[in-house]
A = this chain, B = another copy of it.
Amino acid sequence: FQVNQFWIELGYFITLSSLGFLALKASKPRTARSFKPKYIDLFFTSVSASTVSSMSTVEMEVFSNTQLVFLTVLMFVGGEVFTSMLGLHLMRARIINRRTNNILNSEPNSQSLPQSDSNTDHIELRMITDHNFTEEKSNTKQEEEGNLKLKSIKILAYLVSCYLLVVHVTVSSLISIYLSLIPSAKRVLKTKGLKIETFSIFTTVSTFSNCGFIPTNENMVVLKKNSGLLLILIPQILMGNTLYPVCLRLSIWFMEKFTKRSEFRYMLKNSRKLGYGHLLSGKHCFYLANTALGFIVLQLAIFCVLHWNADAIGGLNAYQKLVGSLFQVVNSRHAGESVVDLSSISPAILVLFVVMMYLPPYTSYLPISEEDDIGPHKKEKNTIKKRNIWELLLFSQLTYLVIFVILICITERNHMKRDPLNFSVLNVVIEVISAYGNVGFSSGYSCKRQIHPDSQCKDAWYGFVGKWSDVGKFLLIVVMFFGRLKKFSTRGGKFWSLA
């Protein structure tokens, strides 16, 4: 079932990316006369949008309004909350299907049961009869619970849809209002020839799905003084990613208080039984929220200490600096929008960002015992015995990332020799981990950093990966898919002993 699920999701994202690629190819870019992106770059952008990574090999202002709309759709249907909602519907369909089959097969089943047991001795037979008896007694109870579960899944799917709808409508209205009220922000869009509606909806979808594309070349750098806008986006980033389970549980709790329906009570009490990975127990939510906020505070403290007087956030007043820094550190998990040029940030922070980008959204310090609700761990223990050829061969995720880094060091080896400051291993690692974490941070490429200056070189506003060879770009596409589906490979490397 796990493997099956993996292929379904992989197929979904590949289909999405291919459709996105075709749509981008069919429509004309804004710069149709002067510059046309290569096919690999269009595919890269499509993959980047549908896996919500926001890695880029093309400047964003190349894309026309139509193409931005296509990207918005890709980001929306590629986002984790949306796909998880699809998963809920799928799960419900499956359960209903299984039930119909069970009812159809129930008579032959009950006949075959005694037959297969006919060679057991008396004591065992008695135990089975006893067991059957209690089973019959609890059968109606079980059926009741089954119905409740099915209803709960249905209602949960609707609740998630409402959550999506409410957040998107609210935030895009807020952004629209902000943009029409604040002249400085309005002016930016005007000079770039962007429509307010397109910008609001694109930004809202991109931020909630934690994709991180912004229709401007400079991402949020050009709007870094608009602290109000940043403050609208920060909670939305958290609501769509690291704190989604907390918000979801709060919504359910609120609905339970409001409607008193038993389905909501069932959801709160049996958070794991429903099989919806984003519905966590209360305790787990508590630790998750603390961990996420702890990481933000830690990053903010180090970032402010090392950069308060640095050029990276120059030209801002204290309030703007604080909001900008907060925005930047919130974005390292995992939206990837940016108000500073990452290449001007000190290496200490970059290493910290690499760690934050690597950590999956629901990383949490979880000192609760096994009897408490930590479903996945239990599952792991049960399945440890039935070994699967895949499990034996799988490495840990970190190993795969190192392999990708080594491969890219090999494909870009000539660049690395000639241009060691731009093509440093740290920058490659940032790019790979950023793609794996579906973040979108990039050190970029700067002609100033070339050791042997090249007169042809022109600075551009796309990511570092834009300067790589096609094979390197292709490898990063693979890393983005791998990162988007990382939940399926958490069990790799189990048979390696590092003792």
Contacts and interface: CB of A to CB of B under 8 A. Distances in A.
Nearest to A352: B406
Contacts of A364: 496-497
A306 interface: yes
Interface string A296-317: 0000001000100000000000
A362 B497 contact: yes
A205 to B, nearest CB: 27
Interface residues of A, number: 45
A428 B350 CA distance: 13
Interface string A377-406: 100000000010000100000000010011
A485 interface: no
Contacts of A416: 346-347
Contacts of A376: 499
Residue among A352, A355, A425 facing the most chain B CB atoms (10 A cut-off): A425
Contacts of A387: 367
B347 A497 contact: no
Could you say how many copies of this chain the assembly holds? 2
A31 interface: no
A347 B415 CA distance: 11
B351 A410 contact: no
Contacts of A355: 402
B495 A366 contact: yes
A347 to B, nearest CB: 5
Interface string A344-386: 0011101110010001101111110000001011000000000
Contact of A498 (B306, B360, B405, B417): B360
A413 interface: yes
A87 interface: no
Interface string A257-282: 00000000000000000000000000
A126 to B, nearest CB: 23
25 contacts: A302-B406, A306-B413, A346-B409, A346-B413, A346-B416, A347-B416, A348-B407, A350-B425, A351-B402, A351-B425, A359-B498, A362-B497, A362-B499, A366-B497, A367-B392, A376-B499, A420-B421, A424-B424, A424-B425, A424-B426, A425-B425, A426-B426, A451-B451, A487-B499, A490-B499
